[in-house]
Amino acid sequence: MIPRHSLGAMGVEVSAFGLGGEGILRTHGRHEQASELIRQALDLGVTYFESARAYSGSEGYLGQSLGADRQRIFLATKSHERTAAGAQEHLRESLTLLGTDWIDLWMVHDVRTRDELEQIAGPGGALEVFAKAKQRGAARFLGVSGHHDPAILRAALDLFPFDCVLMPVNPAEGALNAFADEVLPTARARGMGVIAMKVLCRGLVAQLPGFMGTAPYLRYALQTEGVSLVSIGCENTAQIRENLEAVVAVNQPTEGEREGLERLLSPYARKLAYYRP
């Protein structure tokens, strides 16, 4: 059984593993493979599914594959628009493609600069539409994501009472100005849900000397205080099964594993953190 965790103080439980919108879902025209992946995740008990307007055909794949299972899963997507008009159009497109009347978690996607924060929160900014979407039930919860600059993501939390934050959590971060160190204390104090991304550094960890599978990296993220789940894109059903096996065994860490992973990845940290400038 996949462990389920409370998503902060949001009053919902989600599977500790979520299917992200990268991998096979971030393509066009691969409906059969994408549907097989989504159905496999559903059959194995995954309840968190995540997409974004920027993720190629991802929303369309989900909309075509979820069917009646939409009622029992927690569906998240993101908008990278910074203006109210753009966010409104993204909301319309997301609801249409996902085949749903509501989004469980709608996130401001990939904030990077203070200019973006000012635009999002200013007159005619995207947050106007986000707030209205929650008020009228088009979005149950609101969140923000970032993987460019921990200080910017931390500043975003003061712009608006977001329910959730999506951010990188991996051992390479330990050698840098970690997102977990900068953002997590505030998120925990406010009862926000915390979702880990970039857990496997886009698969780059598999190229390192001494790589021993994905399990230690999933354990690292899920044992970070405040993290409720990992969101990972997959290329095929074998990757889903491998990740789920690791999540099920997450409470069986090797002694000193966390520190050992940080030491192992420290010389490669800048390469692994490809998502930073």
Q: Is the pLDDT of residue 36 over 90?
A: yes
Q: Is the pLDDT of residue 62 over 80?
A: yes
Q: How far apart are CA 64 and CA 87, in angstroms?
A: 23
| Predicted structure pTM score | 0.97
Residue 106 lies in a domain: yes
CA distances, 118 to each of 69, 89, 141, 172, 195 (Å): 38, 20, 22, 30, 24
Rg (CA), the chain: 18
Residue 70 lies in a domain: yes
Residue 252 lies in a domain: yes
Q: Is the pLDDT of residue 254 over 70?
A: no
pLDDT band at 42 (very low <50, low <70, confident <90, very high): very high
Residue 45 lies in a domain: yes
Beta bridge partners of 48: 18, 74
How many independent structural domains does the chain possess? Answer: 1
Q: What pLDDT is stored for residue 253 in this prediction? A: 59
Q: Is the pLDDT of residue 111 over 90?
A: yes
Q: What pLDDT is stored for residue 47 in this prediction? A: 98
Strand (E) or helix (H) holding 261: helix 257-265
Q: How far apart are CA 262 and CA 112, in angstroms?
A: 25
pLDDT digits (tens, 9 = 90+) for 72-94: 999 999 999 999 999 999 999 99
pLDDT above 90: percentage of residues in the chain: 92
164 in Cβ contact with 8 (< 8 Å): yes
Which residues form the domain of 258? 4-204+214-272
Please choose, from the candidates 247, 205, 241, 245, the residue with its C-alpha nearest in 3D space to the C-alpha of residue 229: 247
Residue 209 lies in a domain: no
Question: Which CATH number is 37's domain given?
Answer: 3.20.20.100
Token representation of residue 81: 């628009």
pLDDT band at 31 (very low <50, low <70, confident <90, very high): very high
Q: How far apart are CA 46 and CA 83, in angstroms?
A: 33
Q: How far apart are CA 82 and CA 108, in angstroms?
A: 8
pLDDT band at 255 (very low <50, low <70, confident <90, very high): confident
The helix/strand/coil state of 144 is strand
pLDDT digits (tens, 9 = 90+) for 116-125: 999 999 999 9
Residue 277 lies in a domain: no
Q: Is the pLDDT of residue 48 over 70?
A: yes
pLDDT digits (tens, 9 = 90+) for 208-222: 988 888 999 999 999
Beta bridge partners of 193: 164
165 in Cβ contact with 196 (< 8 Å): no
Q: How far apart are CA 274 and CA 45, in angstroms?
A: 31
Residue 108 lies in a domain: yes
4 in Cβ contact with 13 (< 8 Å): yes
pLDDT digits (tens, 9 = 90+) for 133-181: 999 999 999 999 999 999 999 999 999 999 999 999 999 998 998 999 9
Per-residue b or e along 150-181, where b marks 16 or more CB atoms closer than 10 Å to that residue's CB = bebbbbbbebbebbbbbbbbbbbbbbbebbbe
The pairing of beta strand 139-145 with beta strand 13-15 = unpaired
Residue 130 lies in a domain: yes
Q: Is the pLDDT of residue 252 over 70?
A: no
